[in-house]
Amino acid sequence: MSLQGKIALVTGGSRGIGRAVCLRLAALGCNIWVNYVSNRDAADETVAEIEKKGGKGFAIGFDVADNKAVLQAIKEITAESAAPEILVNNAGITRDGLMARMKETDWDLVLDTNLKGAFLCSKAVMRGMMKKRWGRIINISSVIGFLGNGGQVNYSAAKAGIIGLTKSMARELAPRQVTVNSVAPGYIVTDMTSSLSEEIQEMIRARIPLGSLGTPEDVAGCVAFLASEESSYLTGQTLHVNGGMYMGN
């Protein structure tokens, strides 16, 4: 699954799933642009790991929910390397709380970053992909977007919205040979899940047929497949990476 020389932008690429995706795509030969919004040190660590393995990585800071910042970043990437040919919309935040007490600002922040950010970044790169008649857009959704979850109406709505965005973009871009797919992780071992108590983690594992939480590398493997030529006849689809927790269509 060689992607030698391809230019890839991974939003939220400094930690967790994003970092694993960066490393996996770099191993396939991509030049990786690692997006971050505030933690430059973490992004630099990801770049260092990429280069340690013989790849090329670059850190670039911008807020995916800020259209001007997105357009400027794509301009910088294109000038330094070339127009991105692979985009992984991974940037995401949570602001959990029961809907009855949820602040409007917490709703807006999550929808802006998790859904609007994917829209803005995709719009910014799609012209270059269409012109080249080759491109891969991979959106990171979540099992929560399919199952729902109490205390996460904003996150669930955003991740469900990612699925509709994926399908509609796939239809629009297919004539130009640009594929758009999504990956919906279940419970993955990240900073977020590691902070949960052992009791809560055990409750989660009991709901997963395979009996364990996934790893960022499990998700990264699916992203790499969707970015490769091996998936060239696959578009508008969602790969569920959740150990069997959700088995719907």
pLDDT in tens, 33-66: 999 999 999 999 999 999 998 999 999 999 999 9
Residues carrying an active site annotation: 155
> Does residue 96 sit within a domain?
yes
The model's pLDDT over 99-112, given as tens digits with 9 standing for 90+, comes to: 999 999 999 999 99
Contact 33, 3 (CB under 8 A): no
Whether 245 maps to a domain, the answer reads no
Domain count for the chain = 1
- Res. 194: pLDDT tops 90: no
The pair of three-digit structure tokens given for residue 64, joined into one six-digit string: 């995916």
Residue 161 maps to a domain: yes
The model's pTM is 0.96
Q: Give the CATH number for residue 107.
A: 3.40.50.720
Q: Is 2 a member of any domain?
A: no
Q: Can you give the pLDDT at residue 25?
A: 98
Confidence band, pLDDT 50/70/90 cuts, at residue 249: low
Residue 93's domain comprises 7-238
Rounded Cα distance, 32 and 201, in Å: 33
CA-closest candidate to residue 81, choices 97, 64, 101, 58: 58
Q: Each residue of 152-177: pLDDT tens digit?
A: 999 999 999 999 999 999 999 999 99
Query: Mind giving me the DSSP string for 161-204?
Result: HHHHHHHHHHHHHGGGTEEEEEEEE-SB-SHHHHTS-HHHHHHH
In a domain, 44, yes or no: yes
CA dist., res. 14 & res. 88, Å (int): 13
Domain contains 37: yes
Edge-to-edge order in the sheet of strand 178-185: 56-61, 31-36, 7-10, 86-89, 135-140, 178-185, 238-241
In a domain, 132, yes or no: yes
Does residue 27 form part of some domain? yes
